[in-house]
Structure 1
Amino acid sequence: MAKTTSPDKPGTARQRGVTMNDVAKHAGVSRTAVSFVLNNREDASISEETRVRIAEAVQALGYRPNAGARALASQRSDWYGIVTEIVTAPFAVDIIKGAQDQAWIDGRFLLIAPSDQGDAAGPNQGMEDAAVEKLLEQRVEGLLYAATHHRGVHVPRSAHEVPTVLVNCFDLDGKLPSIVPDERAGGRVAVERLLRAGHTNIGVINLDPRIPAAVGRLQGVREALADAGLELDPELVAAGYATADGGYDAACQILDRYPAKDRPTALFCLNDRMAMGAYDAIKERGLAIPGDIAVIGFDNQELISAYLRPKLTTVALPFEKMGALGVQTLAALTAGQPITANQQLVDCPLLERSSV
């Protein structure tokens, strides 16, 4: 048998497998008294002196309650689960941070199950099912399902066994609540900034035109222009499909389509990677940013936006706020409280730098 050392001496190992019986024996009280104190039974008539002795015994022996047994007894575990593939995305990891910080404020903890969520058709459904099952086995009280980019998803059926909230994605079946960025408002705020700077001839480098971010942001562009009595010229829109190379090609198309006097004086790039490509296209033509052409991006991918020269003015995706709001919504659901909307939109703020 391995030798145990005294837990009272600094630097020595604590005993393992300490039970309530051990705590009761050390404190000179009954096991029932220990159980009542550790479970905060307010109806138990236990003196303060006895409570102190039990607390000291717990500390001395290094006793830890069995979380699984406690969850079974109380029907709550104080754990939320989060299923996500964003652990591999350097800028979207803020969803986890926002959720974790809010959970801590609420006295809850997060269990993270990484998953390759694939696309809306669910080609990795087996992996997702396994991730949800593992979290449910830990008796989590609710689930967050978070995605790297805004899209529709099919959630594993077993996720419906507990309250579940989607973050940065939405349920294609329309059953689960979701927290998503207000793409339309983000598009509006970008173009409104360009209009205030005096630009009326604005080119747009779009994402894949079919995805929710592209649809919403482009709608915001049109609304902002309409409010100013302008229309979006289809010839000033080109798809860059979210890559730097795509942004470069799209910027070349837009800039070379018109003679210099009719060329757009501003480009709104619907993500920062495309803006990085657009910078190259603009500079290759001997044009200055923002003197000749202003540029605004979207996402606030800081490894790009803060290090381009000039630094890129961009619209931020509110990842951290969405994560926090997801936990707040989950807390309301687990408490049996109604939620006001099945989908909550989160503002995308404009971050001023030097490109306008």
Structure 2
Amino acid sequence: MSQQSVTMADVAKAAGVSRTTVSFVLNGRTESSIPETTRERINQAARELGYRPNAAARTLASKRSSWFGLVTEIATSPFATDVIKGAQQAAWKDGNFLLVAPSDDEPGMDQRAVEKLLEQQVGGLIIATTWHRQITVPDNAKLVPCVLVNCFDADGEFPSIVPDEIGGGYAAAEILARAGHTNIGHITVAMGIPAQIGRQTGMKQALRDHGIEPDDTKIVPGDGTADSGYHGTQALLSQTDPPTAIFCGNDRIAMGAYDAIKERGLRVGEDISIVGFDDQEILAPHMRPKLTTIALPFEELGMAGVSLLNQMVEGSPIENRQITIGCPPRIRSSVAMHGQR
């Protein structure tokens, strides 16, 4: 085999590593966390095979160091475009460019998406999910600086940007308490996920701060769907002392709550006040009455992710491994002062 015909793939095979790892080592990418023993093995294999780097390819690689990669479930969520929009704006502001790779729940899809981005010599990675949760980060994401957006890993190895679920739940309950409601129901999103735990925790804290003792009999487990909102509201309104206001765990739950309230001949915002969560663009502003809700700040999450990634790429120390972004209220027409019609 001539020196000219030896490729990175040949070196990768000889060293027992991926082609991407070989590329990072032979192109001098020192910011990746490749062990020194692996670097030495790759360099030795390259010497023994007589690998000679292609000058044009090396120049192209150096030009792509200002590119960031974003992996997200773009095809399955109405929120993904907002994450991309925020990340794109922040990247362009600093002269960086964003490459987007879609992923889904198919096994190994995230790893393949990351690999494709690494092959393009991105300088850093953002992995973004469409709902707040713990994830397992692909091993190949460790080759470059990597930030998690709207998600986190179990060991806290990767810095993350997440919404302030507790603060959002607090804001939702406070809107109702300030409107004079003391008998407040809650229909949760799926039990056990960070959104459910955080929003319910924040709600209870706000009630206590306003002198209202939380009542667990007014909390109905839901699953994030309109159907669970409908049935949860029916259950709450069938109680001996039904609530005068309901905090719905998301906007779809609120949509189901509207149906249950109207079916009983009651009026949203007059007889029963409703607060949602998400500020889903295709729902909240178009419901009648328009839904007061708490916004999930997807654009801000994307922007903050790129900002943090820039710090990592530049070698700046990261003091806070998990940054929370506030969830602002969107006041509309579904909440009225208690006792006023």
Check whether TM > 0.5. Answer: yes
Alignment of 1:170-249 (within 5 A): 170-249=152-231
Alignment of 1:35-114 (within 5 A): 68-72=57-61, 74=62, 77-114=65-102
User: What is the rounded CA distance, in whole Å, between the counterparts of 1:171 and 1:196 in structure 2?
Assistant: 37
User: What is the rounded CA distance, in whole Å, between the counterparts of 2:109 and 2:149 in structure 1?
Assistant: 19
State the number of aligned residues: 281
Q: Deviations over 1:265-299 (max 9, x none)?
A: 10000100000000000111111111111000000
Instruction: Indicate the SS of the match to 1:111.
Output: strand
Q: Deviations over 1:61-87 (max 9, x none)?
A: xxxxx9954344x47521000111134
Instruction: Indicate the SS of the match to 1:298.
Output: coil
Letter in 2 for 1:70: T
Q: Deviations over 1:320-339 (max 9, x none)?
A: 00000000000000000012
Instruction: Indicate the SS of the match to 1:246.
Output: helix
Q: Tell whether 2:143 aligns with 1:161.
A: yes
Q: Deviations over 1:141-177 (max 9, x none)?
A: 0000000000000000010110000000011232000
Q: Deviations over 1:114-143 (max 9, x none)?
A: 011x3xxxxx34211111111111100000
Instruction: Indicate the SS of the match to 1:146.
Output: strand
Alignment partner, residue 323 of structure 2 = 344
User: What is the rounded CA distance, in whole Å, between the counterparts of 2:79 and 2:143 in structure 1?
Assistant: 31
Alpha carbons 2:191, 2:222 under 8 Å: kept? no
User: What is the rounded CA distance, in whole Å, between the counterparts of 1:78 and 1:128 in structure 2?
Assistant: 22
Same amino acid, percent of matched pairs: 56
Structure 2, unaligned stretches of length 5 or more?
1-54, 336-341
> Is the alpha carbon distance of 1:229 and 1:182 closer, same or farther for their aligned partners in structure 2, counting shifts above 3 Å?
same
Alignment partner, residue 249 of structure 2 = 270
TM-score by length of 1: 0.77
Kindly name which structure, 1 or 2, has the bigger radius of gyration based on alpha carbons.
1
Alignment of 1:248-327 (within 5 A): 248-258=230-240, 262-327=241-306
Alpha carbons 2:64, 2:120 under 8 Å: kept? no
Letter in 2 for 1:92: A
Shift of 1:340: 2.3
**Residue 355 of structure 1: which of 325, 334, 340 is its match?**
334
User: What is the rounded CA distance, in whole Å, between the counterparts of 2:246 and 2:109 in structure 1?
Assistant: 41
Letter in 2 for 1:326: G
Structure 1, unaligned stretches of length 5 or more?
1-65, 119-123
User: What is the rounded CA distance, in whole Å, between the counterparts of 1:287 and 1:67 in structure 2?
Assistant: 71
User: What is the rounded CA distance, in whole Å, between the counterparts of 1:125 and 1:342 in structure 2?
Assistant: 27
> Is the alpha carbon distance of 1:188 and 1:68 closer, same or farther for their aligned partners in structure 2, counting shifts above 3 Å?
farther
Instruction: Indicate the SS of the match to 2:231.
Output: helix
Alignment partner, residue 133 of structure 1 = 115
Q: CA RMSD in A?
A: 1.4
Letter in 2 for 1:236: K
